Structure 1
Amino acid sequence: MVSSSATTFLLWAGYAAATVLTASMATYGLARRDNRVARSFGAVMVGLLLWSLGAFGRLLVPTRAGWHLLTVVMYLGVATTPVLFFRFVAHYTNRDISLSRRRVAALFVVPAGTVSALATNPTHGLFFVGVRSVPFGNGEVLVATSGPLFYVHAAYSYLLLVAGTLLLVWFALESHREYRRQSAAILGGTMVPWATNVVYLFRFGPSFPVDPTPVGFAFGGILLAYAVFGTGVTNLTPVARSAVVDAIDDAVFVVSRTGELVDLNPAARRLTIVDDPLGAPVSSVVPDPLLNAEAEPSAITLDGTERWFRLREVELDGDGAVLLASDLTEQVRRQRQLREQNRRLEQFTRIAAHDLRNPLNAITGYTRLARETGDVSHLDDVDPATDRIETLIDDLLTLGHEGRVVEETAPVSLAAAAERAWNEVNTGGATLEVVGDERLLADESRFNQLLENLFINAVTHGGDDVTVEVGTRPDGFFVADDGTGIPTEDRAEVFEYGYSTHGGTGLGLPVVRSITVAHGWEVSVTDAADGGARFEFGGIQTDPQPFDGIGLGAVSGGSPFE
């Protein structure tokens, strides 16, 4: 039989120990701002701290009004701790996918009602039907008699406690050994005070003059301290998955043994084709091309832009699999750029060697004649040949410069760039019409050169009265004119160096293609609506930021926008 003085000392010491332990663990948990499990753990400790402080304070105040005030403080912790505990367990076990802020707020409705009912209890007496004095130590303390609303609160609290406990037990059975130690420590640390509360509330054991639950916190706090400092619950947690997996650039899909999607990260959610993918068969959630992208990258259209992904599957010891979808768009673009550059370099080298041979032969021939005959007038015929060689060298340098891979891009307004390029070239009486605008990610100077070459080509082939239209497409833009157009049989050659139908250098459109490839874009030529040529550019990334309000309109003869 435990003596009255021993019981009193045990309660005082337990209350004090519980206050110190919960305060220290609340501070430690809430200080870990970068870890949601640590924060939710700290919130539970705050609830327990309020419980302990209120219970401890009630032993010290001499008045009924002070006792009632501290009882309200205590129940701020008593009523909210079950919700905070359930939320912590949901975070810890990674079962919080459906635990939205609105649902968490709904869980606090009963605790809010509990505290309100307690605060107004003197007017209705439904939470505590009475308060009486009982001996405690060398004095007396106040003890309440529970009313109907108290048992509503108790039933709700125990329901959340049981739910959280079952989640912990289930998780511990399925987890690796390290998490089992953590789960067991957390489970033990929370079960000790709650078991103490059940014994006190339903009189299953010895009678205590005051609630001994904070003493249970003191003993349970030893296990909780071990969970925090011994196993590192705020460092090594299952929700490290959230901090790591959510930050991965690759799309991560977790698939069950039966093929349903059970988890995914933000990068994966952007690839899904349904609004609520969780629980659905992965084959109905993920685009078909992605599921067939294990051997070679497959193309998927996202937000109007074609992107390339490769899929890898990692088995989970018979418990399902993780699908990792890596975005290889930039790699695919670079490979295409290199292939195109190598092809064009080989082509240009072949053409340049052919075109250089004629002027070199001319120089050699006229020089030989001048040397053999002594007539230096033959050297005058060398000048056109040297001019041709200089032109070929300039062309080579131009193609080499414009064909370099674009390393850095910036948002460029299509409409503003079209205006600048139009004003830089001699367009005579031609007219520019801009329909729509988009902020394209491009190298501004090289993009302007691309537009200038297209405008020069349109005026050269369409005449001074040609109308050039610039507009947007789903994944890029177009430049069209109402000139004579390009015959279908010639469209494959217009981007080749040296091709010209008007005696020009044949460099304008090859430069357009070189700049296009350097950006990782695609270009094709087709018929315009008015019978002229239409150059379409695709595979272009855009900037989502809003425009500054640039106007759209028509430009004639190089004049500004109206």
Structure 2
Amino acid sequence: MSDPMWGRNTNGGTERVDVLAVGDPVAERTLDALGAEQFDVTVEPRHDEALERLEREGFDCVLSGTNLGGTALADVFAGVRERTETTPFVVVTDGAWAEIEPIEDEVSEIIVRGGMPAGRETACITNRLRQAVRASRRLEACERALDQRTNRLDEFATVVSHDLRNPLNVARSTVELLDGDQEQLDRLDRSLRRMNAIIENGITFARQRDTVDGTAPADLETFATDLWADRETEHATLTTDAGGPIVADPDRLRELLGQLLDNAIEHGDPPVTVTVGTFEDGFYVADTGPGVPDRAHERAFEPGVSTAQGTGLGLAIVREIARAHGWTVSLADSESDGTRIEVTGVEFY
């Protein structure tokens, strides 16, 4: 059975693969044999010219030896990765491990001539090249599929945002105009507010990215104070004990802090005191509420988990933003028996 990721050309043969050979990785007779096995091999003895050609033309695979005229193999590999992150990089060697060791875990394949059976060099190199290219194409196909799913998810989030938020706003406005049982109207208003919060947090969670766009110095005390001013805090008080600024994506840090402040206000017993502070390896948000039950500690950051009438997405959003920065978020008990969320691995400016 043929591999579905190993294409076929129009005349029924195996799809040809363009290989860029850097230096002199294989003998002339092997190059001829590779041609007969559907490999188009372009040889560039000079690594700088090879890199220029790779950037200009693109290839399915880069094949390199370890004898590169005084140029380090690691430098050639770095040059290839500057131009392409996915093209397989295959090394053929007679045992120059000192050259290979710095990049041993990063290259796609390492072919050792001494480990090949006599007369089987062409077959071994052919098979290893095909394996490397097939793996690369599978990875590219998976990435394309992931991009498509991400785009569909974003489109769905946009539809939810527009098609549900507008009727909710109408319903909330109508509640304000109604006369009747005030207790029931207040209950309905709380339900509508909760639905709106679920939509908002659901969209925010769906659109979280794995990396940050850029970082800058960010003052936690200033951010926390500004965010606090936008919240209903009649029965809550904010205190700060923050040191110097941290290095973060300002927009995503604002989202993270906002979620933590909302969580503290929502779960705390009025009057609740919320503290934003720093310590040696990061920062924290603590409250004077009842704390998180021990049974819920391990699952506190999972989507949908809430110990109150929240959306169950706030701490999940916090975790994703922390991961994007390379930080770690964890749950601890505060000094006042409430909840303390700690973010570690933070760089201070």
Please, what TM-score do these two structures have when normalized by structure 1? 0.27
- Which of structures 1 and 2 has the bigger CA Rg? 1
Please, what TM-score do these two structures have when normalized by structure 2? 0.43
The structure carrying a bigger helix percent of its residues is 1
- Greater relative contact order structure (CA < 8 Å, 6+ sep): 2
